[in-house]
Structure 1
């Protein structure tokens, strides 16, 4: 196969994006549309969801927007069935919905733990279980995890454990679905401020004084579009031989591993 720019396009493919009312989900849904896909989106937040739908339609592509809590298995099944019947097929599933709260593990009550498990792991299994039978052979599943799947996360232990579980699920499904050439991958973002983590850029203290979070990130803070871009890549033919892997979309945070940029541009451990 000779590569040309058309391999980056998603013309007439059908994508599903969860948690698409804002942040990475909204940016991803619009980016997929700009590259040629029709997009079905869902979220619990109706106003932002409709704004995303309008942005998709402004690209000339079709949108289906359904208010939905992805923890509801029956609701997910209905949403995916509606997307399939509306557009005539499915090609791309993007599991972006998720969330968490800060709390030391010993203070997380069973109800709170169940909410974290359902929102960050079980919801992904709902979309995959109900979606894969509707996805055409050669499709793509992209799961949005987090840098917290790969490092300690004090105060977010259950959230991080569920993101790690999604990363492991991704590897297993990459093998189980390979006979249909359905590729399954992750992106693991960090340093991308969104409405869900508005405090990301707040300062933190080190032995050398106060720094903002961007000091821990070699490339500084990113934007939701910086995460949407690799999702578009994984969704399309440029990534047709990529499966079971994770792209770290973190501006170099994993590479830095605790190194902090000084004001003069050098780094301190």
Structure 2
């Protein structure tokens, strides 16, 4: 086979010259012009960076959060880019204001193209110290509200939609001190795989972004402890630290046509931590276990 040809769907498929392929990439493929995107927890941190990035690439936004002042700043940044922004001030764990707000989003825009389930939260406690009420709050904040938003958005989402669930590296490893949170992030990752199959007939893609060591205004899973301690271990194998904009970049990719054949998977934005497993990089550059 020529280097200038590829096959689609296996060896029995016809050869398609890449210069005639209708799916060939061009710079406009990354744009999100006039798409409508919802970002939960959009007031600050990863959510705010994601909302502004989506707007920068052409999307109109709808963001919700409990933090009024920070959410207003995010909305102003979106509007400064010439895009519209609908805001909702409520706790995502409560279905009544969520459903009313989604109805408002539907009335304003008529549809939803992208849903970024970013909202979530946790607290540090051994499993035995978590009360039934605390456990229920963690489940509601990190899983039930995600299914609620997906269920509420599906009637507004046509073919070609994208659902992006922001999970965590803890979805793929143990979470001592954060056992319920970790379990719910793992549940999100599994839900993502299941829905990627269920919704494929509607051409709705479902994927995850799993961050780690991304500094935000929220509470760190390390409980304020330093990630670069006296042992000389670096916070991640990669030489530089990550930022909320790295997560936003992954969301821009998953929201648009560049990722049209990507569904049911997780993009790890973690400086190589999930790949490292038990390996740690010393600040000297050498690796140790």
**Shorter-chain TM band:** over 0.9
Instruction: Give the structure with the higher percent helix.
Output: 1
Distance 1:224 1:195 in 2: 10
User: How do residues 98-137 of structure 1 correspond to structure 2 at under 5 angstroms?
Assistant: 98-137=120-159
Of the candidates 255, 266, 270, which is equivalent to residue 235 of structure 1?
255
User: Secondary structure in 1 aligned to 2:121?
Assistant: coil
CA deviations on 1:118-176 (whole Å, 9 max, x unpaired) are 00000101100111111121100000000000001100000000000000111111111
Distance 1:126 1:252 in 2: 32
Deviation at 1:68, TM superposition (A): 1.5
Match of residue 231 from structure 2: 210
Cα RMSD (Å): 1.6
Distance 2:94 2:213 in 1: 30
Distance 1:90 1:68 in 2: 19
Q: Which stretch shows the higher mean deviation, 176-185 or 214-223?
A: 214-223
Deviation at 1:260, TM superposition (A): 2.1
Match of residue 185 from structure 1: 207
Match of residue 3 from structure 2: none
Does the 8 A contact of 1:117 with 1:158 survive in 2? yes
User: How do residues 64-75 of structure 1 correspond to structure 2 at under 5 angstroms?
Assistant: 64-75=86-97
CA deviations on 1:189-236 (whole Å, 9 max, x unpaired) are 001011113575743698xx4346x43442442110000001110000
Distance 1:152 1:59 in 2: 41
Q: Decide whether aligned partners of structure 1 residues 97 and 204 sit closer, same or farther in structure 2, where only a CA change above 3 A counts.
A: closer
Structure 1: unaligned runs, 5 residues or longer: none
Deviation at 1:54, TM superposition (A): 0.2
TM-score (norm 1): 0.95
CA deviations on 1:33-58 (whole Å, 9 max, x unpaired) are 00000000000111110000000001
User: How do residues 70-109 of structure 1 correspond to structure 2 at under 5 angstroms?
Assistant: 70-109=92-131
Does the 8 A contact of 2:228 with 2:235 survive in 1? no
Number of equivalenced pairs: 266
Match of residue 15 from structure 1: 37
CA deviations on 1:22-41 (whole Å, 9 max, x unpaired) are 00000000000000000000
TM-score (norm 2): 0.88
Task: Work out which of the two has the higher radius of gyration on C-alpha atoms and give 1 or 2.
Answer: 2
Deviation at 1:72, TM superposition (A): 1.2
Does the 8 A contact of 1:203 with 1:210 survive in 2? no
Moved over 6 A (4+): none
Distance 1:190 1:220 in 2: 13
Distance 2:55 2:143 in 1: 26
Match of residue 46 from structure 1: 68
Does the 8 A contact of 1:218 with 1:256 survive in 2? no
CA deviations on 1:88-127 (whole Å, 9 max, x unpaired) are 2110000000000000001111000000000000010110
Q: Decide whether aligned partners of structure 1 residues 107 and 46 sit closer, same or farther in structure 2, where only a CA change above 3 A counts.
A: same
